């Protein structure tokens, strides 16, 4: 039996390597495949996208290759990754032979919620301070001037992409959506994440974990156990 493939979409500023530690924590029946967006890690020299639709276009051939022989596919995305997962789910709906079983959206308001607090357009110090307020977290590398200069263009592009996002379709998905949230998240409220219920006709549920907006860094084991149970892979 082929394992269920969990396609993981990154949050702003993150690369596919964030999900490397997940691969050894999952049961045999579940395989993680993390998408690498342009502008980071081995794709560092490529221009990062500032548009969700174009970012999904870019990774779509890789995604289709990953899920081609899978008996079941699921998507996971945190914050910016949640809207990438939502757009990707719409795209996969048109691919014959792909069985998308569930979409896990984490730390994000519903797809029709425009961002009212923004970091796009601020100077470097103001931008980084705003992003840190949003996430409740700052990557240590951003404290070093050389690394900051290397990382800022991609982080700025990601934040612009997320803040300017508008769904490509008003049509809800037909697959189930599960929302995931840190119960102390000060950026995304329980009411905001519940907006995802309107984004599917296939069933909706929500789970909270200990922690804030970046709960998935500290509560990864609990998160992955829950995902595995929902996908019948535990």
Catalytic positions, written as ranges: 79
Query: Do residues 169 and 175 touch, judged by C-beta distance below 8 A?
Result: no
How far is residue 63 from each of residues 9, 88, 91, 130, measured CA to CA in Å?
11, 9, 10, 32
Residues sharing a CB contact under 8 Å with residue 67, sequence separation 6 or more, in sequence order: 5, 7, 73, 92, 98
Count other Cβ atoms within 10 Å, centred on residue 149.
Answer: 10
Q: What is the 3-state secondary structure of 3-22? A: CEEEEEECCCCCCHHHHHHH
Return the bridge partners of 100, or none. Answer: 73
Residues sharing a CB contact under 8 Å with residue 58, sequence separation 6 or more, in sequence order: 37, 38, 49
Return the bridge partners of 205, or none. Answer: 178
């Amino acid at each position: 039996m082929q394992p269920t493939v969990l396609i993981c979409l990154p949050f702003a500023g993150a690369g596919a390597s964030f999900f490397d530690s997940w691969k050894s924590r999952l049961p045999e029946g579940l395989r993680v495949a993390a998408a690498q967006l342009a502008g980071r890690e081995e794709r560092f020299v490529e221009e990062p996208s500032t548009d969700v639709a174009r970012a999904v276009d870019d990774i779509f051939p890789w995604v289709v290759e990953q899920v081609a022989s899978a008996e079941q596919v699921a998507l996971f995305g945190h914050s910016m990754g949640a809207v990438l997962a939502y757009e990707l789910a719409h795209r996969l709906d048109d691919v014959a032979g792909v069985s998308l079983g569930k979409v896990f959206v984490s730390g994000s308001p519903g797809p029709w919620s425009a961002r009212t607090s923004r970091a796009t357009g601020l100077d470097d110090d103001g931008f980084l301070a705003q992003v840190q307020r949003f996430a409740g977290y700052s990557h240590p590398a951003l404290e070093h001037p050389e690394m900051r200069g290397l990382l800022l263009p991609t982080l700025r592009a990601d934040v612009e992409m997320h803040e300017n996002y508008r769904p490509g379709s008003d049509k809800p998905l037909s697959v189930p959506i599960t929302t995931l949230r840190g119960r102390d998240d000060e950026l995304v409220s329980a009411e905001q994440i519940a907006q995802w219920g309107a984004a599917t006709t296939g069933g909706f549920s929500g789970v909270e974990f200990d922690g804030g907006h970046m709960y998935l860094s500290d509560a990864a084991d609990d998160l992955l156990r829950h995902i595995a149970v929902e996908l019948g892979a535990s």
